[in-house]
Amino acid sequence: MAKATFTPQNQQTESFRLLSGHTIPAVGLGTWKSGSEANNAVCTAIVEAGYRHVDTAADYGIQEEVERALKAAMHAGVERKDLFVTSKIWCTDLAPERIHWSFRLKDGASRPPKAGEVLEFDMEGVWREMERLVEDNLVRDIGICNYTVKKLHRLLTFAQTTLSFCQMEMHPGRRNDKMLEACKKNGIHVTAYSPLGSGSRDLIHHPTVEKIANKLNKTPAQILVKWALQRGTSVIPKSTHPRQDQGEHTSVWVGNSKGRLPNTIQYPRSETSV
């Protein structure tokens, strides 16, 4: 567990303003697959590396560890009002007050789901219940993740409470341009998840990323985080290793116009899925 005491100078991240008027720190900490390291990783990230934004979900099985880490960080002096915590409810639990992906799954469904395991869901009913969470002051903002442009447009026809943000997979190998554009047109903030490629694409060791990193004297992770920030999205790289003590992800030239990436990172077509 982190031993350092928080001082305001530690805070390094800039924020994006949401339609609701609240702000979301530009760089957050992802926690998927953090397992037993989640408690230490989250607390260290907040107290030592200056993170104020943590992304988690019921499906990650670590919400208790995250809760313990948040309490420890607050004990060290971080104020709750400065922390932005995102959570999601998994598809099999999808009832009109719960949401993670934009479809519902049968109980016990495989991953990825097989034919017949994906069910229709009551989008309006779910959204109304989520709006109630805001009315009851249980959450500050509500949003969506893994949506399509079509589903987004449908949701916007009946949403009464501001749809603050949308979370989706985004990195140079999966740009999701159409959905990003649709969100921007509607003032919806976007958070990019799996920004480092989540291992499967290994963008950290991609020759193009490595080349740009060497040229700019940055790490590959910093290039990928910057790529996301430069598109106007917040970004939530997951990290359980001590590298986060050095603020590698949170100190990526935020606010430094000279630090813009020279060009969009170009990938071979076969790697660009959207």
List active site positions: 60
- Interface positions, 23-52, toward ligand NAP (CB under 6 A): 30-32
Query: Smaller CB distance to ligand NAP: residue 8 or 242?
Result: 242
Query: Smaller CB distance to ligand NAP: residue 5 or 149?
Result: 149
User: In this structure, what token pair is assigned to residue 174?
Assistant: 């999966």
Q: How far is the CB of 222 from ligand NAP (least distance, A)?
A: 8
User: Per rule CB under 6 A, is residue 234 in the interface with ligand NAP?
Assistant: no
3-class SS string, 214-257 = HHHCCCHHHHHHHHHHHCCCEECCECCCHHHHHCCCCCCCCCCH
- Interface positions, 121-140, toward ligand NAP (CB under 6 A): none
**Pick from 68, 69, 67: nearest CA to 41:** 69
Type of residue numbered 176: N
**Pick from 219, 249, 236, 242: nearest CA to 32:** 236
- Interface positions, 103-122, toward ligand NAP (CB under 6 A): none
Q: How far is the CB of 248 from ligand NAP (least distance, A)?
A: 5
Query: Smaller CB distance to ligand NAP: residue 12 or 240?
Result: 240
- Number of neighbours of residue 119 by Cβ within 10 angstroms: 14
Query: Smaller CB distance to ligand NAP: residue 83 or 136?
Result: 83
Residue of 111, 185, 241, 258 that binds ligand NAP (CB under 6 A) = 241
Residue of 5, 199, 232, 272 that binds ligand NAP (CB under 6 A) = 199
User: Per rule CB under 6 A, is residue 236 in the interface with ligand NAP?
Assistant: yes
Type of residue numbered 95: A
C-alpha 16/C-alpha 24 separation (Å) is: 5
DSSP state at residue 25: E
Place of tokens 């080349």: 211
Q: How far is the CB of 240 from ligand NAP (least distance, A)?
A: 4
Residue of 50, 197, 206, 247 that binds ligand NAP (CB under 6 A) = 197
Q: Which helix (H) or strand (E) holds 115?
A: none
Q: Which helix (H) or strand (E) holds 23?
A: strand 23-25
C-alpha 153/C-alpha 166 separation (Å) is: 13
User: Per rule CB under 6 A, is residue 221 in the interface with ligand NAP?
Assistant: yes
Q: How far is the CB of 194 from ligand NAP (least distance, A)?
A: 4
Contact footprint for ligand NAP (CB under 6 A):
30-32, 55, 88, 145-146, 167, 193-199, 204, 219, 221, 236-241, 243, 248
